[in-house]
Amino acid sequence: MKLMVASLVGMLALSGVAQAQSAPPSKGYIEGIAQSAFGNVTSQSFGAEGGVSLTDTVQVFAEFGMVRDTAPDTIGPAAQKIAVALGSGAGYSVAQPVGFGLLGLRYNIPMEGRALHPYLSVGGGLASVKRDVAFLVNGTDVTEKLDTYGVVLGSDLAGTERKLMISGGVGLIYNITRTFLFDANYRFGRIQTDGTATNVQRVGAGIGFRF
């Protein structure tokens, strides 16, 4: 996080004096993205994004990614109750990874003669939310054998569901060369799951190219 802030500050300082890289008008872009994710837990997010230009300032984009963990506060206590029922020597681990696909619009704020190009984005799509819970007894994984203990997991601890996800964000594009770009970005996403909302904030960077 400190490195990301330092990078943003450094680029902002350069923007006052740096001239934009000489590059032909962009028809679109593709980039890979790595981010830190914040919500109920701190995790990581990885993905890819690509877009095509509709006008000089507006692009339509698609983003696909994975957040490694978005586990809500309720999943741990629920799993602990099962572990207690399994008896002495039982333990558990919990996670809630989310895979997502989004479509949206990106508005590139005009900054003629500058090396930095800020933008705003908004999008929506689907998220695949997986309850990834494991139970161990004396070090042995018994998740697939819980029925032998008279235990059946509910939807709060097992299964995968697909839910609507909306997203909004801001970013700064720095044209490293005529083709390659660096994207410092922030995204806020909201996923509706089981009557409650899961909010995920992502801060990170992407490397890609213009075409």
Domain region containing 122: 2-210
CATH number of domain containing 8: 2.40.160.20
pLDDT tens for the chain, 211 residues long, are: 444 444 444 444 444 334 444 445 579 999 999 999 998 899 999 999 999 999 999 999 999 999 999 998 889 999 999 999 898 899 999 999 999 999 999 999 988 777 889 999 999 999 999 999 999 999 999 999 999 888 999 888 999 999 999 999 999 999 999 899 999 999 999 998 666 789 999 999 999 999 9
Structurally, how many domains does the chain consist of?
1
Structure tokens of 151?
Answer: 């235990």
- Token pair of 24 as six digits: 């032909």
Distance in angstroms between the alpha carbons of the first and the last residue of the chain? 30
Angle at 47 between CA 8 and CA 124, to 5 degrees: 95
Look at the chain and count its residues.
Answer: 211
Run of H or E including 1: none
Identify any residues that bridge with 192 across adjacent strands, giving them in sequence order.
197
3-state DSSP of 98-131: EEEEEEEEEEECCCCCCCEEEEEEEEEEEEEEEC
Measured CA to CA, the distance from residue 9 to residue 128 in angstroms comes to: 35
Provide the H-helix boundaries in the chain. Answer: 2-15, 75-86
Contact 111, 117 (CB under 8 A): yes
- Give the residue among 178, 84, 91, 85 at the shortest CA–CA distance from 133: 91
pTM metric for this prediction: 0.82
For the chain, state the CA radius of gyration: 21
